[in-house]
């Protein structure tokens, strides 16, 4: 009869073994979930990197195409604009000289015209310089980084 009954010590050992096996199973499940989440995160990171690389390549092609067209048009316009500007300045100076009779006033007006032209050209150059860049790529990268920051803060608050 004593053989049929288990001793309290054997019963405690079996319960401890059962608890240990359950803890091991929970630990394995947690590790498996962690590996799955890490793999999913790496796949998302790889996809985002691929999208960013594609966007960068396409925007680079657009920028180079626009820069080539701008250069070609600039080279074609230079001689035409120089002669037109020269003739317009001479005409303006001659008209002012005819109306005022003073050469100094005519020269000052031609000088003011040139300074105004230079200021307008410098403003346009600044606008073009600011427009050349990878705005879409930078915006996409910024959105990715903000998403990472939000995910990190959410993960930190859950811990």
pLDDT, tens only, 77-99: 999 989 998 999 999 999 999 99
Total count of residues recorded for the chain: 159
pLDDT at site 138:
81
Distance CA 49, CA 72 (A): 34
Q: How confident is the model at residue 26 (pLDDT cuts 50, 70, 90)?
A: confident
Burial 132-154 (b: 16+ CB within 10 A, else e): eeeeebeebeeeeeeeeeeeeee
Tell me the whole-structure pTM to 2 decimals.
0.40
pLDDT at site 67:
87
Using alpha carbons, list the distances in angstroms from residue 22 to 18, 54, 82, 133. 6, 48, 87, 58
Average pLDDT over residues 101-118: 93
Residue 4 has pLDDT above 70, yes or no: no
Q: How confident is the model at residue 141 (pLDDT cuts 50, 70, 90)?
A: confident
SS3 133: coil
Distance CA 37, CA 27 (A): 15
Task: Tokens for 155, please give them.
Answer: 């993960």
pLDDT at site 103:
93
Q: How confident is the model at residue 11 (pLDDT cuts 50, 70, 90)?
A: confident
């Amino acid at each position: 009869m004593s053989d049929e009954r288990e001793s309290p010590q054997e019963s405690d050992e079996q319960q401890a073994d059962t608890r240990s096996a359950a803890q091991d199973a929970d630990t394995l499940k947690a590790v498996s979930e962690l590996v799955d989440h890490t793999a999913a995160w790496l796949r998302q990171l790889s996809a985002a990197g691929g999208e960013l690389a594609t966007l960068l390549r396409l925007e680079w092609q657009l920028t180079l195409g626009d820069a080539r067209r701008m250069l070609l048009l600039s080279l074609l316009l230079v001689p035409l604009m120089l002669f037109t500007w020269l003739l317009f300045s001479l005409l303006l100076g001659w008209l002012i000289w005819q109306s005022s009779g003073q050469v100094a006033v005519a020269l000052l007006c031609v000088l003011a015209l040139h300074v105004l032209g230079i200021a307008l050209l410098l403003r346009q150059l600044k606008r073009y310089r600011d427009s050349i860049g990878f705005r879409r790529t930078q915006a996409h990268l910024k959105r990715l980084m903000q998403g990472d920051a939000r995910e990190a803060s959410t993960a930190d608050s859950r811990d």
